């Protein structure tokens, strides 16, 4: 089912003051916030560099190509990918949602603190098409993101969740978020959701994104010289990030949908050949840089102040 390994050439991308320049240039960041953000980020970047390991493109594409059309088999494939990436034993678990549904699959990368960055995607798809775009493209990146972050000690605890039954009404993510206690929810500093990648350059659902998370994404994209732009989908669909919004958990959804490519979703056109491999690998690189940057940046008072406007 998986035709590529997880070993990567020694590669390390470093983001520091480049993110500051990225935020300064980005059109996604409102001007009044830039000075406050820059002052806060300058302090953080002066004491720490953002480090992560990049997997070879062949591995990312092999995992994308290793899909099944059956939802229950997808969960099993992802579980195998996580184990190959080093997430196993007590770090990897399944959460039963309903008897007739595949479980939520949960992988934990422990950090130095109990503050959590939650990274999610759904693997189920509708009956028509192969569901590679929506959303094997997002789900199959979860084990790779775990691997890329796991090679350097992290401040935050990262929790990677493959949600079941998103297409049935956010069932898996609603269940997961609802089962958390208020104390557990309070520890989640960000919910980063990936849904439908690779149809083109990376997009972000800005109207349903936390300001701090949106600003950081813009800065990282500019620093890494990778594209990201706003494409809001308020009137055409929803995604697992919304299961966390009702609990006031900061969230953001990364996707690649445009008005031109929207008809591919939930249709017989949803197949592997619709994925633009260059854009898909760029989205992976952006995601790993973004998550590594959030690990160093989230939770600092200056960032919180910028988000609230105080």
Residues in the chain: 310
Q: Are 202 and 209 in contact (CB under 8 A)?
A: no
CA dist 145 and 22 (Å) reads 22
120: helix, strand or coil? strand
The first and second tokens of residue 108, run together, are 């934990």
CA dist 108 and 128 (Å) reads 33
β-strands 202-204, 228-230 pairing: parallel
233: helix, strand or coil? coil
Which residue in 167, 188, 202 sits closest to 284, CA to CA? 202
Q: Are 248 and 224 in contact (CB under 8 A)?
A: no
Which residue in 59, 112, 51 sits closest to 85, CA to CA? 59
**The whole model's pTM is what?**
0.84
CA dist 205 and 203 (Å) reads 7
260: helix, strand or coil? coil
CA dist 86 and 108 (Å) reads 11
Query: In the chain, what are the domains?
Result: 12-308 (3.40.630.10)
Per-residue pLDDT of the chain (310 residues; tens, 9 = 90+): 212 223 333 334 444 445 555 555 555 655 554 544 544 454 444 334 678 899 999 999 999 999 999 999 999 999 999 999 999 999 999 999 998 999 999 999 999 999 999 999 999 999 999 999 999 999 999 999 999 999 999 999 999 999 999 999 999 999 999 999 999 999 999 999 999 999 999 999 999 999 999 988 988 888 888 999 999 987 677 899 999 999 999 999 999 999 899 999 999 999 999 999 999 999 999 999 999 999 988 876 543 333 333 3
């Amino acid at each position: 089912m998986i035709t590529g390994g997880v070993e990567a050439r020694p590669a390390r991308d470093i983001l520091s003051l480049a993110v500051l320049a990225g935020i300064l240039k980005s059109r996604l960041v409102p001007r009044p916030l830039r000075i406050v953000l820059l002052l806060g980020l300058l302090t953080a970047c002066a004491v720490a560099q953002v480090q992560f390991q990049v997997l070879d493109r062949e591995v990312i594409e092999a995992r994308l190509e290793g899909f099944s059309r059956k939802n229950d088999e997808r969960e099993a494939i992802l579980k195998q990918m996580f184990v190959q990436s080093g997430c196993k034993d007590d770090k990897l678990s399944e959460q039963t949602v309903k008897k007739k549904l595949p479980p939520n699959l949960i992988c934990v990368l422990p950090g130095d603190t109990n503050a959590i960055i939650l990274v999610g995607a759904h693997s189920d798809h509708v009956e028509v098409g192969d569901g590679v775009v929506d959303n094997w493209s997002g789900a199959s990146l979860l084990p790779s993101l775990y691997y890329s972050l796991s090679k350097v000690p992290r401040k935050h605890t990262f929790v990677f969740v493959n949600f079941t039954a998103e297409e049935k009404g956010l069932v898996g993510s609603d269940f997961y978020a609802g089962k958390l206690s208020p104390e557990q929810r309070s520890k989640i500093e960000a919910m980063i959701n990936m849904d439908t990648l690779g149809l083109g350059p990376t997009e972000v659902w800005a109207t349903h994104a936390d300001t701090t998370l949106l600003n950081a994404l813009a800065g990282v994209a500019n620093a890494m010289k990778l594209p990201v732009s706003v494409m809001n989908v308020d009137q055409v669909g929803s995604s697992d990030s919304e299961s966390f919004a009702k609990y006031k958990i900061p969230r953001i959804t990364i996707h690649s949908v445009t008005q031109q490519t929207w008809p591919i979703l939930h249709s017989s056109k949803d197949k592997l050949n619709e994925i633009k491999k260059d854009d898909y690998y760029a989205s992976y690189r952006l995601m790993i840089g973004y998550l590594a940057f959030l690990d160093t940046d989230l939770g600092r008072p200056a960032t919180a102040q910028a988000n609230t406007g105080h």
